[in-house]
Amino acid sequence: MELSYREMLERAYERLPKQVEAYERFTIPRPEVVFVGRRTIIQNFSEIAESLRRDPDHILKFLTAEMATLATFDGSRAIFKGKFNLESIRNLLERYTEKYVICPVCRRPDTRLERQKRLWFLQCEACGARSSVGTS
Given a contact cutoff of 8 angstroms between Cβ atoms, the answer to whether 16 and 99 are in contact is no
Residue 24 has a pLDDT of 62
Residue 40 has a pLDDT of 95
Residue 1 has a pLDDT of 59
* Span 25-101 CATH architecture: 2-Layer Sandwich (3.30)
Residue ranges per structural domain of the chain: 25-101, 104-136
Given a contact cutoff of 8 angstroms between Cβ atoms, the answer to whether 36 and 78 are in contact is no
DSSP letter assigned to residue 20? P
Model confidence pLDDT, tens digit, residues 53-92:
999 999 999 999 999 999 999 989 999 999 999 999 999 9
Name residues of the chain where pLDDT drops below 50.
Answer: none
Q: Does the model's pTM come out above 0.75?
A: yes
Residue 99 has a pLDDT of 92
Residue 75 has a pLDDT of 85
